[in-house]
């Protein structure tokens, strides 16, 4: 038999000292743990909502008692804590990236990529394609996309390093490229959303958006492409053709001003988006290129 390991922080539903133990962790571990516990709370809320809907049908039944509901809720809370500890639904990875910009440079714990719970376009399961960047590492991500970044940068008047940094932040160096229900990569390297004018395929995933400075969990549809090349081309076309990005385009000679204007025009709702991109540009790229 495999011995049972001692429970870690907040792995039991009644562990009221779980957050206290987080204080004794280093910064990277604590951010990952807080993200996991937040995901567990969300899962508990989802299960409780489903139970409440089912209670209407079970009124007057043999399990319709306060005692039965008490023990059922204990079980639900423990199950959701255990589910979160074993990988959850992928939301913890998204929360961790929002809490700690450095998580976009190098993931602390092996959390899954943002895997869509549902997809707008169904697709059969497929093995990773040649366009899949997930297994190439940071240095492979940079070398693979460098020619595309240089070509697109020349079209927009920005630096190739800025575009690589933006794609690295959006995708976690290729490890969190959005996927459809069959696991096929969307090749969306800039996380461009699919508006009503988009006629191509999409993937629909949970995302965190900032509304009046508050992070809100929403479902959003994102564009899907046949290749990374198509993603870079569509990004350039979006920036050139959308009137709201013209101030960013006018500032293209200055990387910081360009990304600040792009964010201010609504490209991203994260108030720290420009600083995060520049952080990757100023620190992450050099480290990535030095990797074997």
pTM confidence score:
0.56
Determine whether 209 is an active site residue. Answer: yes
> Which stretches of the chain drop beneath a pLDDT of 70?
1-32, 34-35, 38, 43, 47, 50, 53-64, 67-71, 79-88, 91-92, 95-132, 134-135
pLDDT reported for residue 41: 73
Q: How do residues 252-284 score in pLDDT, each as one tens digit?
A: 999 999 999 999 999 998 999 999 999 999 998
Question: Per the residue annotation, which of 209, 237, 254, 272 is the catalytic one?
Answer: 209
What are the chain's domains?
18-88 (no CATH), 115-290 (1.10.530.10)
Question: Residue 96: its pLDDT value, please?
Answer: 65
Q: What is the predicted pLDDT for the residue at 63? A: 59
- The answer to whether residues 210 and 235 touch, using CB atoms and an 8 Å cutoff, is no
Q: Are the beta carbons of 171 and 137 closer than 8 angstroms? A: no
Instruction: Return the pLDDT at 215.
Output: 77
Could you report the per-residue pLDDT of 40-69, keeping only the tens digit for each?
A: 777 677 767 767 766 655 566 565 677 666
- 234 catalytic residue (yes or no): yes
Compute CA distances 261 → 138, 163, 230, 249, whole Å.
Answer: 27, 15, 24, 8
Give me the residues paired with residue 207 across strands.
Answer: 218
Q: What is the pLDDT of residue 113?
A: 38
Q: 138 is written with which tokens?
A: 């940071």
Cα distances (Å, whole numbers) of residue 249 to 88, 253, 256: 40, 9, 12
Catalytic hit among 33, 132, 234, 260:
234
CA separation for the pair 277, 284 (Å, rounded)? 10
Rounded-to-5 percentages of helix, strand, coil across the chain: 50, 10, 40
């Amino acid at each position: 038999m495999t011995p049972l390991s001692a429970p870690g922080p907040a792995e039991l539903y009644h562990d009221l000292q779980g957050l206290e133990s987080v204080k004794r962790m280093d910064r990277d571990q604590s951010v990952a743990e807080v993200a996991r516990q937040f995901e567990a709370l969300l899962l508990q809320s989802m299960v409780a909502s489903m139970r409440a809907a089912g209670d209407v049908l079970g009124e007057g039944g043999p399990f319709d008692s306060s005692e039965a509901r008490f023990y059922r809720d204990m079980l639900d809370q423990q199950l959701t804590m255990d589910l979160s500890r074993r990988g959850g639904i992928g939301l913890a990875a998204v929360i961790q990236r929002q809490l700690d910009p450095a998580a976009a440079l190098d993931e602390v714990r092996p959390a899954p990529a943002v895997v869509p719970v549902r997809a707008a376009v169904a697709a059969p399961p497929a093995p990773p394609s040649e366009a899949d960047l997930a297994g190439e590492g940071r240095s492979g991500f940079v070398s693979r996309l460098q020619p595309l970044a240089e070509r697109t940068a020349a079209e927009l008047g920005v630096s190739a390093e800025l575009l690589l940094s933006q794609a690295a932040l959006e995708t976690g160096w290729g490890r969190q490229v959005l996927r459809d229900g069959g696991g096929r990569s969307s090749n969306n390297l800039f996380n461009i959303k699919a508006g009503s004018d988009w006629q191509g395929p999409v993937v629909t995933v949970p995302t965190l958006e900032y509304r009046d400075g508050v992070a809100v969990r929403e479902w959003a549809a994102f564009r899907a492409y046949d290749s990374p090349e198509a993603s870079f081309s569509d990004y350039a076309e979006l920036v050139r053709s959308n009137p709201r990005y013209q101030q960013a385009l006018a500032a293209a000679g200055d990387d910081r001003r360009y990304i600040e204007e792009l964010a201010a025009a609504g490209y991203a709702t994260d108030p720290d988006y420009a600083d995060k991109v520049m952080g990757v540009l100023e620190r992450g790229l050099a480290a990535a290129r030095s990797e074997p």
